[in-house]
């Protein structure tokens, strides 16, 4: 190659550099470490500190407002020590460090009343700051919820060199979530999910900073929730007596979730999606007719008999005691009107009430009664979007969940214009699978991309990734959820401007291997491999 050729190469090099510089600056540190979801502000210095499993401790600042005996924190300290060192303590490399280059301690400080013994809620403060500097790192948060999120980030800052030595660079991080409601929907009716698999899902949710488990617990196919008031519901309506969540199981899920700063919102979907309810509660469902005679089949809950409301009121009274969260999901989606239309009693009632064969009015009549019931027991309701679309009178503060993929932005505009809070799920139906990297599609969604005022946008409290269970049981729950749901996790936690797919890919690849190392069978994003220690 002659001098001209070299010149040309030099010019190309300069052009490449210029092109690189003109793009948004790459956040190399976050990408190398695989921080997920990306924190609000990350500064990583070039000063490396070493950690040794024998000498490193996570402990309370003695001046912290949290009770040193706070079980939630003690549990979290133990868990994160395990995540950091547990799997390969023995592979810890040769001692390369003197005291001058050691990180000896993570000191955790809770600034306000810790809320150690309470349940997280929609206004829980999850913000934290993390300062890693020798010889001690400091994690500061107003409440225990922020400590939990900060511990996850701290664990993500630690890496191993080729000798296996644990290293953390001095760094400083400030973080808080973009949306307060960041959920995963699981469906335990189409297939029963063993309690252990739900607990594992809660672990993975915490790794991705999710904070709501939307438990779609019963549906047409089975009624696994064991009610103490109406035990026949699960005795007759579950797949079998071993496919049941006992009060002890439910309590276990709720407490396990609490320790990870995760709320559990139960969904009892009515008046449709209720075939399994009918098995243990005679007279609850509407008898369908074939011409003038009962066909033997049953339709949605019968909205015209008083016994329905007596039952529902006792049932939801129990639910409000069992589930501590302020919210109960009432469903209200996909009500099939054909059975109601076939029933002569219902026809008579419709005429009498002046509903003019508009069955949406009958559905509204039912839902309004249930909504009133929920207000009486001092809980807030969440409903699927049809309830809003059918013009049901909603008590203020009723939250509407948007799920229909078609024109969901328009739906968000309408609901928020009417003053109701919104949870977005429409673009995040993870049960709809396809070939390739569909996480990118989930990642690109901006939940505030609809026309409306700032005030309307503030009504979007977050979103949920939904994994419906028709084709999902314990065998494929985890790989189908992760890391696809992680994309939604970052979208809901990180700032609006965090949209670079290249950066997301590099960070998510590391996060996926991290989940695998921690025992979550997350599927691969694409070709490649995890570091050897991750796959053991």
Ligand X SMILES: *[C@@H]1O[C@H](CO)[C@@H](O)[C@H](O)[C@H]1NC(C)=O
Q: Which one of 7, 232, 334, 351 is the catalytic residue?
A: 334
User: What's the closest the beta carbon of residue 505 comes to ligand X, in angstroms?
Assistant: 17
101 binds ligand X (CB under 6 A): no
C-alpha torsion angle, residues 188, 192, 196, 198 (rounded to 10): -10
Q: Is the dihedral of CA 38, 39, 40, 43 positive or negative?
A: negative
Stretch that binds ligand X, among 26-34, 57-65, 311-319, 466-474 (CB under 6 A): 26-34
33 binds ligand X (CB under 6 A): yes
- Which C-beta is closer to ligand X: that of 99 or that of 240? 99
CB of 131 closer than 8 Å to CB of 98: no
Stretch that binds ligand X, among 40-48, 60-68, 232-240, 448-456 (CB under 6 A): 40-48
Nearest CA to 513 among 493, 490, 536, 494?
536
Helix locations, 130-246, DSSP H: 144-157, 195-207, 232-237
Instruction: Verify whether residue 334 is a known catalytic residue.
Output: yes
CB of 326 closer than 8 Å to CB of 212: no
Question: Which of 29, 138, 404, 530 touches ligand X by CB under 6 A?
Answer: 29
Burial 279-315 (b: 16+ CB within 10 A, else e): bbbeebbbbbbeeeeeeeebbbbbbbeeebeebbbeb
Written as six digits, the tokens of 144 are 């225990």
Stretch that binds ligand X, among 115-123, 256-264, 271-279, 490-498 (CB under 6 A): 115-123
User: What's the closest the beta carbon of residue 358 comes to ligand X, in angstroms?
Assistant: 22
- Which C-beta is closer to ligand X: that of 383 or that of 510? 510
User: What's the closest the beta carbon of residue 224 comes to ligand X, in angstroms?
Assistant: 28
136 binds ligand X (CB under 6 A): no
141 binds ligand X (CB under 6 A): no
- Which C-beta is closer to ligand X: that of 120 or that of 469? 120
Stretch that binds ligand X, among 41-49, 179-187, 355-363, 481-489 (CB under 6 A): 41-49
169 binds ligand X (CB under 6 A): yes
Stretch that binds ligand X, among 118-126, 205-213, 230-238, 275-283 (CB under 6 A): 118-126
Q: Residue 428, class by beta-carbon neighbours within 10 Å (0-12 exposed, 13-18 middle, 19+ buried)?
A: buried
- Which C-beta is closer to ligand X: that of 144 or that of 204? 144
Tell me how far apart the alpha carbons of residues 257 and 299 are, in angstroms, rounded to a whole number: 35
Q: Residue 138, class by beta-carbon neighbours within 10 Å (0-12 exposed, 13-18 middle, 19+ buried)?
A: middle
Cα–Cα separations (whole angstroms), residue 436 to 34, 285, 499: 21, 43, 19
Residues paired with residue 131 on neighbouring β-strands, in sequence order = 138, 172
User: What's the closest the beta carbon of residue 214 comes to ligand X, in angstroms?
Assistant: 18
User: What's the closest the beta carbon of residue 158 comes to ligand X, in angstroms?
Assistant: 11
Written as six digits, the tokens of 374 are 């929920």
Report the relative pairing of strands 136-141 and 105-110 from DSSP bridges: parallel
User: What's the closest the beta carbon of residue 347 comes to ligand X, in angstroms?
Assistant: 17
Stretch that binds ligand X, among 19-27, 121-129, 289-297, 358-366 (CB under 6 A): 121-129
Written as six digits, the tokens of 226 are 């064991």
Residues paired with residue 58 on neighbouring β-strands, in sequence order = 106
User: What's the closest the beta carbon of residue 305 comes to ligand X, in angstroms?
Assistant: 7
Question: Which of 97, 114, 115, 385 touches ligand X by CB under 6 A?
Answer: 115
- Which C-beta is closer to ligand X: that of 374 or that of 481? 374
SS3 56: coil
- Looking at 379-525, which runs of residues are DSSP E strands? 380-384, 399-402, 422-424, 460-467
User: What's the closest the beta carbon of residue 526 comes to ligand X, in angstroms?
Assistant: 23
Residues in contact with ligand X, total (CB under 6 A)?
15
- Which x/- pattern, by CB under 6 A, does the window 44-83 give for ligand X? x-x-x-----------------------------------
CB of 508 closer than 8 Å to CB of 36: yes
162 binds ligand X (CB under 6 A): no
- Interacting residue ranges for ligand X, rule: CB under 6 A: 29, 32-33, 44, 46, 48, 99, 115, 118, 121-123, 169, 306, 326
Active site residues: 334
């Amino acid at each position: 190659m002659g001098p001209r050729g070299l010149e040309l190469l030099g010019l190309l090099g300069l052009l490449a550099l210029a092109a690189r510089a003109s793009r948004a600056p790459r956040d190399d540190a976050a990408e190398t470490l695989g921080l997920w979801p990306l924190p609000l502000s990350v500064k990583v210095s070039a000063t490396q500190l070493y950690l040794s499993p024998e000498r490193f401790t996570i402990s309370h600042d003695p001046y912290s407002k949290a009770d040193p005996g706070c079980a939630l924190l003690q549990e979290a300290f133990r868990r994160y020590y395990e995540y950091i060192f547990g799997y390969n303590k023995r592979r810890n490399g040769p001692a390369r460090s003197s005291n001058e280059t050691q990180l000896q301690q993570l000191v955790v400080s809770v600034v306000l009343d810790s809320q150690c013994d309470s349940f997280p809620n929609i206004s829980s403060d999850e913000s934290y700051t993390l300062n890693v500097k020798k010889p001690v790192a400091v994690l500061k948060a107003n409440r225990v919820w922020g400590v939990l999120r900060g511990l996850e980030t701290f664990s993500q800052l630690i890496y191993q060199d080729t000798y296996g030595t644990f290293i953390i660079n001095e760094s400083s991080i400030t973080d808080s979530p973009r949306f307060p409601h960041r959920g995963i929907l699981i469906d335990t009716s189409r297939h029963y999910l063993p309690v252990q698999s739900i607990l594992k899902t809660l672990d993975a949710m915490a790794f991705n900073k999710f904070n709501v488990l939307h438990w779609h617990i019963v549906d047409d196919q089975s009624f696994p929730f064991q009610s103490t008031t109406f035990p026949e519901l699960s005795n007759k309506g579950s797949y079998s007596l071993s496919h049941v969540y006992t009060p002890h199981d439910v309590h276990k899920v709720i407490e396990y979730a609490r320790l990870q700063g995760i709320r559990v919102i139960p969904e009892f979907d009515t008046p449709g999606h209720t075939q399994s309810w009918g098995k243990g509660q005679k007279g609850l469902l509407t008898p369908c007719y074939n011409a003038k005679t009962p066909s033997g089949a049953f339709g949605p809950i019968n909205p015209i008999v008083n016994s329905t409301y007596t039952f529902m009121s006792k049932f939801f009274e129990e639910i409000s005691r069992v589930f501590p969260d302020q919210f109960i999901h009432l469903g209200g989606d996909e009500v099939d009107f054909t059975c109601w239309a076939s029933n002569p009693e219902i026809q008579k009632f419709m005429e009498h009430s002046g509903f003019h064969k508009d069955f949406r009015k009958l559905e509204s009549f039912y839902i309004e009664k249930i909504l009133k019931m929920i207000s009486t027991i001092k809980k807030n309701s969440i409903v699927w979007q049809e309830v809003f679309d059918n013009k049901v009178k909603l008590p203020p503060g009723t939250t509407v969940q948007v799920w229909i993929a078609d024109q969901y932005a328009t739906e968000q505009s309408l609901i928020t214009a009417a003053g109701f809070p919104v949870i977005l799920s429409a673009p995040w139906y993870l049960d709809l699978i396809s070939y390739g990297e569909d996480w990118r599609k989930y990642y690109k969604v901006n939940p505030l991309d609809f026309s409306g005022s700032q005030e309307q946008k503030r009504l979007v409290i977050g979103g949920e990734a939904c994994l419906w269970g028709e084709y999902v049981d314990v065998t494929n729950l985890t790989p189908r959820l992760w890391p696809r749901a992680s994309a939604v996790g970052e979208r809901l936690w990180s700032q609006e401007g965090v949209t670079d797919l290249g950066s997301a890919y590099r960070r998510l690849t590391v996060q996926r291997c991290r989940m695998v190392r921690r025992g979550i069978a997350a599927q691969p994003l694409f070709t490649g491999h995890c570091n050897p220690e991750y796959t053991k």
